[in-house]
Structure 1
């Protein structure tokens, strides 16, 4: 990911939060305070997702090993 894309995303997120703050400041402050809790609760699901992705990558490598040994080139 390029840094300018990250900067643009951060700017858009900030502008959206400021808009929410102007329209409904209690909800914006609640979102700001609860975001770290939501992030911590989502960590186990991210780890599970990474593990499942790794298992599928291993299965794919094992299944395609005979073809690679016979000289088939990836597209």
Structure 2
């Protein structure tokens, strides 16, 4: 669904201003490559927060709390 919306917006941009649409089309792979480190950092932060949450709730789980 996200790709379909992106394609629709790009087609609309192509109809309105085709030079800008072609520049966007050429720069998208570069932007995707630049976003990879930020995605990796996001995954690592999410894993660290999940680990801390599990560590903090460990005593309650050992005592039998259902939540």
TM over 0.5: yes
Do structure 1's residue 59 and structure 2's residue 52 form an aligned pair? yes
Partner of 1:49: 42
Structure 2: runs of 5+ lacking an equivalent: none
Q: What's the TM-score, normalizing by structure 1?
A: 0.83
Between the aligned partners of 1:11 and 1:52, the Cα distance in structure 2 is: 29
How many residues align? The count is 67
| Secondary structure, aligned partner of 1:72 | coil
Q: State the TM-score, normalized to the length of structure 2.
A: 0.93
Structure 1: which 5+ runs fail to align?
Answer: 1-5
Following TM superposition, where does structure 1 have runs of at least 4 consecutive aligned residues deviating by more than 6 angstroms? none
Q: Any idea what SS the aligned residue of 2:12 has?
A: helix
RMSD: 1.0
Other-structure match for 1:23: 16
Mapped pair 1:72 → 2:55 = no
CA distance in 2, matches of 1:10, 1:18: 12
